Structure 1
Amino acid sequence: MKRILIRDANIVNEGKIIRGDVYIKEGLIYSVGGDLSGKDADIVIDAKGKYLLPGLIDDQVHFREPGLTHKAEIYTESKTAVAGGVTSFMEMPNTIPQSTTHELLEEKYAIGAAKSLANYSFYLGATNDNIETIKSVDVKNVCGVKVFQGSSTGNMLVDNPDSLEAIFRECPILIATHSENDNIIKANLERFKQEYGEDIPAKFHPKIRSEEACYDASKIVVEMARTHGTKLHVLHISTGKEVGLFDNTLPLAEKRITAEACIHHLWFSEEDYNKKGNWIKWNPAIKTSNDRDTILKGVLEGNIDVIATDHAPHTIGEKEQPYLKAPSGGPLLQHGLVALLEMYHNGKISLEQIVQKTSHNVAILFEIESRGFLREGYYADLVLVDLDNSWEVERENVLSKCGWSPFEGQKFRSKVTHTIVSGHLAYENGVFNEEKKGERLKFSRNI
């Protein structure tokens, strides 16, 4: 592998910003800090004035492969990730077929090895009846088990209380949940159908997938995790009320119950539905500005431990359908980091906190082996950003296969210029080098 020397960067790492060099050799970070100009390098990157961060680790993405590749695929979306500074991802099991057996899960890992430009891991999906599969999951080589409490594809809605209890009692690995009460959602939907028929405006999405539906489901799994000592990670918190369910007094490494916030819940609010409609239709729904602000407060104060994207592409044609037919989800990987950097410019979050929530904490929480920090001996997963290089999101510069972004028309002040994946310079100023694929994430967990 090529040796890389990054010169004169502002290095953001472990709560500090220092100015110095980074030397990469054989895919690993060999030296950090100071003047390393004497090192023998094949590639030298002048980083003066730019900021060097650990590559982002996104713990929640949907790449749609296998079975839904008209929307997205592992190759296109991993390419999108790399352009957005995301060097590792954890992908969800609601594909066709669903990844609910070890055999089907390993088939996805084989696709990742052949096609992914970023480092990768894939969740095993839980169902009402695959507890034996869950009990025998490989804790060293799989990121976690995904439980859907809200409606999902096919057999992946775990709506049997006994099955859910068994999963929380027996699962040997982190459980990540999509927590919404499906019965509350169905009742809300029927009320709006009675008033609007089949022509419900998208602005009522947060009333249908309501605060009550989210809080009720999150509260159930938090209480269940406490009962069984389960390692629980509640994904995409969308209400301020839920923030109070999570502790901010313990160090992350000692927490058994953790939470995630997503970019769209930190950026948009229900006022945006009037303009963007289905383009910001996610499950759980984007809610009030007060919810948005309280979620950010939870991120900053430690109730919420990580920030992710829930990148979930659908085609333009699918999103242009009426509200009831339009699927939920949208592409965010390419623009997640620059959106956080925009929040930094606006004084809402520091660079150190961005790194903590998108890299360090994800590595700690999932116990990822030798990633997530700029440390000697760790894998060289790095992103270099220019904080003063404005550009505008247009449909023509969207890289996701779906071909659109909820950020279209948004001007960002920052730009990703270089992304290094496991020591390979995968992206440089808009140009990809696909000679080397990403690597499977490993986890340093005790069985």
Structure 2
Amino acid sequence: MSHLLIKNAKIVNEGRISDADVLIQGERIEKIADFISPPIDCEVLDASGKYLLPGMIDDQVHFREPGVTYKGDIYTESRAAVAGGITSYMEMPNVKPPTLTIEALEDKFALAGQKSIANYSFYMGASNDNLEQIKRLDKNQACGVKVFMGASTGNMLVDNIQALEGIFREAPSIVVTHCEDSPTILANEAKYRAEYGEQIPVMYHPEIRSREACLKSSTLAVGLARQFGTQLHVLHLTTADELSLFTPGPVSGKQITLEACVHHLFFSSDDYARLGNQIKCNPAIKSLTDREALLRAVNEDIIDIIATDHAPHTWEEKQAESYFNAPAGLPLVQHALPSLLEHYHNGIFTLERIVQKVCHNVAERYKIADRGYLREGYFADMVLVDLHKPFTVTRNNILYKCGWSPFEHYQFRSSIDTTLVNGRIVYREGQIQEPGVTGQRLAFSR
């Protein structure tokens, strides 16, 4: 069929909810109107009682390819992403080998072109000694330049102030930062190791990856951006303390923007007793007070974007007895949008607000071409959600390669009904449609 017609949808788009039909031809939206008669060569999808949203654009994932594919890979994790209503993603450079050269960056694009069900882009990584590679980067070649300003693996930690200044001064596109201060973290580790040895209870993780470590590093990042006029996007903020560094208002026109992640909006330090290492991540999930402050900051437009920081590890790795051997990170893409819809059901976020933070603002901040909205002429990336059909997470319906989720046994009040990527149905009523490689390289108009 050359046309697909979605009938009777409640469209959530650009700050309003309206009843409309959507006609798709090929990869793009041809028409949005109150009533559309189906063309002759047309498949019709009845969306009565359901809400049609632009597909979520996740600006922070770790899909583990190349080099760590026993945890996840581009195919398996993009498959899980579309089942969760995520139609585009931006993937991080801390793989093996790390994405620290133009050549390594383009190698990842080539891999995704063979494997990805969702649309994709990749970050160029920063190190203490790859400034010349960053300077070679075309402003539209990658989604951005990722700087780990806190403890990271391999050669990815940038802790030399001259290197940081060079990156913030010379980066041709948006700089995104992981903000934690390594000396503060190392001092905290030594303190708790002196008391507990290797068996530090995971409940102390937010004390080790402390609010002081976060605030010190994010203050430095914001200061450097102001000094050099850098386009800066601070990732996965976790503390109320840091919010004062950022300004409220529309994302358009901001030089410095801010992201929160779904797990920091859903869990709190109270959940370590129940979930343990399953929710160990960097930066750490912190107090209930911090979580409530983050939720308010989303509504106040201090936090501009919501993402996942999807970071799968095997179940066996997460069961490590030593605090130091249990890796940080959790799988999230399949359940991110349902978790945000829980905040809608709880009266915290409106549907329009969710769409703003996971679709519109991501497209605006990164200047993604023709995506992030339901508009005529735009790519037909969209998700149909059923707000009245509960969905319980079980081992049998988890699609991550690692096979587990911190949401296991949780019953979400909403479910993902259908996901379209570039006009093709890739997920419908609980089943991946296995359409082959449907994802495309994201294009930017900077």
Same fold (TM over 0.5): yes
2:291 is aligned with what amino acid?
A: R
1:180 match: 180
Distance 2:162 2:436 in 1: 48
Q: What's the secondary structure of 2:57's corresponding residue? A: strand
- Is the CA contact (8 Å cut-off) linking 2:38 and 2:44 kept in structure 1? no
- Structure 1 residue 296 corresponds to structure 2 residue 295: yes
Range with greater deviation from structure 2 (160-169 or 26-35): 26-35
TM-superposed deviation, 1:38: 3.7
Q: In the alignment, what sits opposite 1:98? A: 98
Q: Quote the Cα distance in structure 1 between the aligned partners of 2:192 and 2:2.
A: 59
TM-score by length of 1: 0.98
| 1:261 maps to 2:266 | no
Greater alpha carbon shift after TM alignment, 128-137 vs 110-119:
128-137
Q: Distance in 2 between matches of 1:96 and 1:25?
A: 40
Q: For the Cα contact (< 8 Å) 1:363–1:371, is it kept in 2? A: yes
- 1:64-101 Cα shifts (integer Å, max 9, x gaps): 00000000000000000000000000000000000100
Q: Partner residue of 2:421?
A: 421
Identity of aligned residues (%): 55
The residue number in structure 2 matching 1:20 is 20
Counting only pairs closer than 5 Å after superposition, residues 9-88 of structure 1 correspond to structure 2 as 9-88=9-88
CA contact (8 A) 1:7 1:37 kept: no
Match of 2:282 in 1: 283
More divergent stretch after superposition (184-193 vs 29-38) = 29-38
Cα deviation, residue 326, structure 1? 0.5
Matching residue of 1:216:
216
Unaligned runs of 5+ in 1: none
Preserved CA contact (<8 Å) 2:117 2:436: no
Question: Does structure 1 conserve the Cα–Cα contact (< 8 Å) formed by 2:422 and 2:438?
Answer: no
Count matched residues. 444
Residue pair 2:139, 2:173 contacting (<8 A) in 1 also: yes
Q: Secondary structure at the match of 1:397?
A: coil
For 1:201 and 1:343, the matched residues in 2 are separated by: 30
1:116 corresponding residue in structure 2: 116
SS at match of 1:244: helix
Partner of 1:127: 127
| Cα offset, 1:429, TM superposition | 1.2
How far apart, in 2, do the equivalents of 1:248 and 1:410 lie?
33
Aligned twin of 2:337 = 337
Question: Where does residue 232 of structure 1 map in the other structure?
Answer: 232
Amino acid at match of 1:298: A
Give the match for residue 168 of structure 1.
168
Q: Which deviations, in whole Å up to 9, do the C-alpha atoms of 1:141-171 show, x marking residues without a partner?
A: 3100000011111110001010001100111
Matched, 1:430 2:408: no
Note the C-alpha offset of 1:436.
Answer: 4.1
Cα distance change, pair 19–162 in 1 and its aligned pair in 2 (3 A): same
Q: 1:37 deviation in Å?
A: 2.2
Could you tell me which amino acid in structure 2 is paired with residue 391 of structure 1?
A: F
Partner deviation per Cα, 1:304-326 (whole Å, 9 max, x = no partner): 10000000000000000022200
Summarize deviations over 1:172-225 as a string: whole Å, max 9, x none: 100010000000000001000011111100000000000000011001000110
Partners of 2:264 and 2:235 in 1: how far apart?
12
5+ residue gaps, structure 2, are: none
Taking structure 2 as the reference length, what is the TM-score of the superposition? 0.98
Q: Secondary structure at the match of 1:88?
A: strand
CA contact (8 A) 2:115 2:437 kept: no
Matches within 5 A, 1:284-433: 284-322=283-321, 323-431=323-431, 432-433=433-434
Q: Which amino acid aligns with 2:274?
A: K
Distance 1:408 1:190 in 2: 34
Distance, in Å, in 2 between the alignment partners of 1:77 and 1:21 is 31
What letter matches 1:430 in structure 2? G
Matched to 2:272, the amino acid is Y
* 1:366-409 residue CA offsets vs partner (Å, 9 max, x unmatched): 00001000011111100000001112111221100000001011
Assess if the C-alpha contact under 8 Å between 2:5 and 2:38 holds in 1. no
Amino acid aligned to 2:220: I
The AA in structure 2 aligned to 1:402 is C
Structure 1 CA distance, aligned partners of 2:351 and 2:40?
A: 31
Aligned residue type for 2:411? K
| Distance (Å, rounded) in 2 between the aligned partners of 1:306 and 1:33 | 29
What do you get for the CA RMSD once the two structures are aligned? Answer: 0.9
Partner SS, residue 114 of structure 1:
helix
**Corresponding letter in the other structure for 1:260:** E
* Deviation string, structure 1 residues 23-73 (Cα, Å, up to 9, x no partner): 001211111131112434532110000000000000000000000000000
Amino acid at match of 1:247: T
Give yes or no for contact 1:425–1:433 (8 Å, CA) kept in 2: no
1: distance between equivalents of 2:72 and 2:427?
Answer: 20
SS of the residue corresponding to residue 329 of structure 1 reads: coil
The answer on whether the counterparts of 1:86 and 1:118 sit within 8 Å (CA) in structure 2 is yes
Q: Secondary structure at the match of 1:388?
A: coil
